């Protein structure tokens, strides 16, 4: 901003001017923080600071763990544990999400294959895909290569996509999704209900699963609007022969509600937080069973 464009603001009322200076200082601090984070993030993968945690997904029909979602964690020596909500947007804007995302896919697929080789029941491994990754022209080949290298059957990989990601360039999106689907990969729509929720793409895109956003699940039991939206998503999914999972399930009451309304799967702190690989492996080995009746109340959660 040039000095010229600043001047009129300094001529404004004292109160306004103070506000503006405060705003500029805050903007500067945010920009500074962002730049430092981006610098640190640049070599985080090389320095081995990235790791994956895994959160179980549980079937409300069998009560068993049927899959896990891989969730990226960054242990920065400078900042400690950085939340994905903070660093994923920076990785996305800077393009660093492309190598990081490839590492996530490869690590998650290799981990799933290791569990299979160790005799655990086969699970779906869900990996989040960002918009920038989805737009990479070699996405399908990159995923095929990883499946091949890790020797994982495509049926055991699930990709979590968001509505905003798939709404852009519809024709190209359909082609890419169809290629992934034809390979046997499971496709789910994450944070469903928070984006455009355009119903026409549900018909046109080869989606298998709708994931009800946690913002609806949070107050499900107290808020009749959230309850109505949740019921509508479950019913919509089933009418379109899709499966439906609720994320962010934290209480028995939410679980009971979702089960009574025919939701297929749940994921959330009620059953387990995202766990480091050693802990999730113990959980899978213990093969804990989440029974689907009133006895659920007595079950240990993790």
The residue within the footprint of Mg ion, chosen from 40, 191, 231, 265 (CB under 5 A), is 191
Beta bridge pairs of residue 159: 127, 187
Query: Segment contacting ligand C2E (CB under 6 A): 24-32, 84-92, 277-285, 294-302?
Result: 84-92
Query: Segment contacting Mg ion (CB under 5 A): 22-30, 107-115, 185-193, 200-208?
Result: 185-193
Tell me which residue of 90, 89, 99 sits closest to 138, measured CA to CA.
99
Helices (H), the chain: 3-10, 14-42, 84-94, 97-117, 131-134, 139-150, 163-167, 170-183, 199-204, 214-218, 224-239, 252-260, 277-286
In contact, 56 and 271? CB cutoff 8 Å:
yes
The residue within the footprint of Mg ion, chosen from 160, 163, 226, 265 (CB under 5 A), is 160
Cα 28 to Cα 60: distance, rounded to the nearest angstrom: 49
Mask of contacts with ligand C2E, 201-230, x by CB under 6 A? -------------x----------------
In contact, 106 and 137? CB cutoff 8 Å:
no
163 counts as binding Mg ion under rule CB under 5 A:
no
| Between 9 and 299, CB nearer to ligand C2E | 299
Residue 270 sits at φ, ψ, to 5 deg, of -55, -45
Query: Segment contacting ligand C2E (CB under 6 A): 15-23, 222-230, 247-255, 291-299?
Result: 247-255
Beta bridge pairs of residue 247: 267
Beta bridge pairs of residue 76: 80
Mask of contacts with ligand C2E, 116-155, x by CB under 6 A? ------------xxx-------------------------
Q: Which does 101 bind (CB under 5 to 8 A by kind): ligand C2E, Mg ion, none?
A: ligand C2E
Q: Please, what is the minimum distance in Å from the beta carbon of residue 169 to ligand C2E? A: 19
| Between 191 and 226, CB nearer to ligand C2E | 191
Q: Which does 55 bind (CB under 5 to 8 A by kind): Mg ion, ligand C2E, none?
A: ligand C2E
Residue nearest ligand C2E, Cβ-based: 268
| Between 193 and 274, CB nearer to ligand C2E | 274
Specify the 3-state DSSP secondary structure of 235: helix
How many residues would you count in the chain? 302
Cα 165 to Cα 131: distance, rounded to the nearest angstrom: 5
Reading phi first (left if > 0) and then psi (alpha if -120 to 50, else beta), residue 121 is in: beta
Q: Please, what is the minimum distance in Å from the beta carbon of residue 116 to ligand C2E? A: 21
| Between 189 and 284, CB nearer to Mg ion | 189
Tell me which residue of 126, 12, 134 sits closest to 70, measured CA to CA.
126
Query: Segment contacting Mg ion (CB under 5 A): 51-59, 77-85, 160-168, 263-271?
Result: 160-168
Q: Is 299 exposed, middle or buried (0-12, 13-18, 19+ CB in 10 A)?
A: middle
Q: Please, what is the minimum distance in Å from the beta carbon of residue 85 to ligand C2E? A: 5
Contact set with ligand C2E (CB under 6 A): 55, 71-72, 83-85, 88, 101, 104, 128-130, 160, 190-191, 214, 247-250, 268-269, 274
Contact set with Mg ion (CB under 5 A): 128, 160, 190-191
């Amino acid at each position: 901003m040039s000095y010229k464009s600043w001047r009129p603001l300094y001529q404004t009322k004292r109160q306004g001017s103070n506000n503006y200076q405060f705003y500029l200082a805050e903007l500067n601090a945010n920009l500074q923080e962002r730049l430092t984070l981006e610098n640190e993030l640049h070599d985080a993968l090389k320095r081995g600071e990235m790791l994956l945690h895994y959160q179980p997904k549980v079937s409300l029909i069998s009560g068993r763990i049927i899959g896990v979602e891989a969730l990226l964690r960054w242990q920065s020596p400078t900042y400690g544990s950085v939340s994905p909500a903070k660093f994923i947007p920076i990785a996305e804007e800077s393009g660093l999400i492309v190598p990081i995302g490839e590492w996530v896919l490869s690590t998650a697929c290799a981990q799933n294959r290791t569990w299979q080789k160790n005799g655990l029941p086969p699970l779906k491994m869900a990996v989040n895909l960002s918009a920038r990754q989805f737009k990479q022209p070699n996405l399908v080949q990159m995923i095929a290569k990883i499946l091949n290298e890790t020797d994982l059957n495509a049926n055991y990989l699930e990709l979590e996509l968001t509505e905003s990601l798939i709404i852009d360039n519809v024709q190209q999106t359909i082609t890419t999704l169809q290629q992934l689907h034809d390979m046997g990969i499971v496709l789910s729509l994450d944070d469903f209900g928070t984006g455009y929720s355009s119903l026409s793409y549900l018909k046109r895109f080869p989606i298998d699963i709708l994931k009800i956003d946690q913002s609806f699940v949070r107050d499900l039991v107290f808020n009749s609007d959230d309850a109505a939206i949740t019921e509508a998503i479950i019913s919509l999914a089933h009418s379109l022969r899709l499966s439906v999972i609720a994320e962010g399930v934290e209480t028995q009451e939410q679980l009971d509600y979702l089960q009574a309304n025919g939701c297929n799967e749940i994921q959330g702190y009620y059953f387990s937080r995202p766990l480091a690989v050693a802990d999730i492996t113990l959980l899978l080995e213990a093969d804990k069973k989440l029974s689907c009746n009133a006895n659920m109340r007595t079950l240990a959660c993790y």
